[in-house]
Amino acid sequence: MKRLETDLHLHLDGSLSTDVVRLLAAEIGYDFEGRSVKESISVGEDCKSLVDYLKCFDLPAQLLQTEAALELASKDLVVRLAKQGLIYTEIRFAPQLHMRKGLTKEKVVEAVIRGVDKGVKEAGSIKAGILLCSMVNGSDKENEETFDIAGGYLNRGVVGVDIAGPEGMVPMAHFEPLFKKVYEKDIPFTIHAGECGDCENIIKAVSYGAKRIGHGCAAIQSDACMDLLKKEKITLEMCVISNLQTKAVASIEEHPLKAFYDRGIRVTYNTDNITVSDTSLLKEAELMKKHMGFTEADLRQMNRYALEGAFLNQEEKEKIIAFFDNNNYNE
């Protein structure tokens, strides 16, 4: 038996395969201007910040503007993840970023749902959910619409919501009313917080009712914040390689993942953006074993944390956890 893995924190537009990019780029006559496909969609070693990192999403944004493109990209991603041994993933994207050619948010969401469903059926070995993202730098109206649409498709492919984008551009407190509404509607949500911002963003996110936090690196700044995460059993969706590239963490030695794990916080490891970060779960895991002292048993525990924190109904969750427990090797 092998290590069964999960990826809770995975952006669709940051995880397009080079084959899909090449095909979609040809359809719109995109000029790579002498660069390779990989150079156009993966961050270089000279990445200086999260803002710099986010520039790699410019081309994917141009490519994912039709139902066919969104469906193809979604299906392709799910099939690739299944081949890598994943048994569960949640794929996130912001529907409002895919409306340049006239698609409605509903059409965008339905295209991704179709693609994910086809990928799951073809692979036969993976379960996948979809998270809809509002954007830190989006309008309040658009963000509310995205969350309203999520409610309409909840348990029909969509499993929850998130807010993404350049953390700190707008104060976290600004989004309290937005999350109050989804909390009242009982829509599961995670929040990008403490990636490049401070620990107060994490504390606020938990106070809004978030059961998961995207990244959460800044919790290391505060014992009170770490104690809160442990007490409330908040799942941290951590992405080591991405954190190093965006300079959320200065070096692998300073990454707080192991400190959080040793403290009893429910940490998970994820890719964030497979293509932009040029990573995979295997690559993340090997880095963590080599530089952070994690064992296979630790990796297994983190994948179990991920399944426990998954936005699934209780029956589905119990079923996939039982499969995980019965088919996973342990050290």
Sheet holding 190-193, edge to edge: 190-193, 212-215, 235-238, 266-269
Residue 30 lies in a domain: yes
**What are the C-alpha distances in Å from 43 to residues 39, 55, 67, 201, 273?**
8, 9, 27, 26, 10
Chain position carrying tokens 């961050």: 43
Domain containing 247 — which CATH number? 3.20.20.140
Compute the distance between CA of residue 233 and CA of residue 156 in angstroms, rounded to an integer.
27
State the catalytic residue, choosing from 71, 110, 167, 195: 195
**Mean pLDDT over each residue of the chain, to the nearest integer:** 95
Query: Per the structure, how many domains does the chain have?
Result: 1
Q: Is 55 exposed, middle or buried (CB count within 10 Å of its CB: 0-12, 13-18, 19+)?
A: exposed
Compute the distance between CA of residue 325 and CA of residue 313 in angstroms, rounded to an integer.
18
Quick one: pLDDT at residue 330? 55
State the number of CA atoms in the 13 A half-sphere of 59 facing the CB: 30
**Are β-strands 266-269 and 127-135 bridged in parallel, bridged antiparallel, or unpaired?**
unpaired
pLDDT (tens digit per residue) in 160-185: 999 998 888 899 999 999 999 999 99
Residue 266 lies in a domain: yes
| Residue 289 in this model has a pLDDT that exceeds 80 | yes
Residue 2 lies in a domain: no
47's tokens: 């990445």
| Residue 320 in this model has a pLDDT that exceeds 80 | yes
Residue 262 lies in a domain: yes
The yes-or-no answer on residue 200 being catalytic is no
**What are the C-alpha distances in Å from 7 to residues 178, 243, 305?**
26, 16, 11
Global pTM reads 0.96
**What are the C-alpha distances in Å from 179 to residues 49, 128, 135, 136, 191?**
27, 24, 13, 13, 9
Residue 1 lies in a domain: no
Tell me which residue range forms the domain holding 156. 12-327
pLDDT (tens digit per residue) in 192-242: 999 987 999 999 999 999 999 999 999 999 999 999 999 999 999 999 999
Quick one: pLDDT at residue 288? 97
Residue 212 lies in a domain: yes
pLDDT (tens digit per residue) in 130-157: 999 999 999 999 999 999 999 999 999 9
Task: Quote the distance between the C-alpha of residue 271 and its chain's center.
Answer: 7
194's tokens: 């403490």
Quick one: pLDDT at residue 1? 52
| Residue 295 in this model has a pLDDT that exceeds 90 | yes
Residue 132 lies in a domain: yes
Compute the distance between CA of residue 18 and CA of residue 41 in angstroms, rounded to an integer.
9
Q: Using alpha carbons, select from 97, 111, 109, 113 the residue that is nearest to residue 63.
A: 97
Spatial neighbors of 239 by CB under 8 A, at least 6 apart, are 9, 215, 269, 270, 271, 272, 277, 284
pLDDT (tens digit per residue) in 53-99: 888 899 999 999 999 999 999 999 999 999 999 999 999 999 999 99
Sheet holding 86-93, edge to edge: 5-11, 86-93, 127-135, 158-164
Residue 54 lies in a domain: yes
pLDDT (tens digit per residue) in 34-55: 999 998 999 977 888 888 888 8
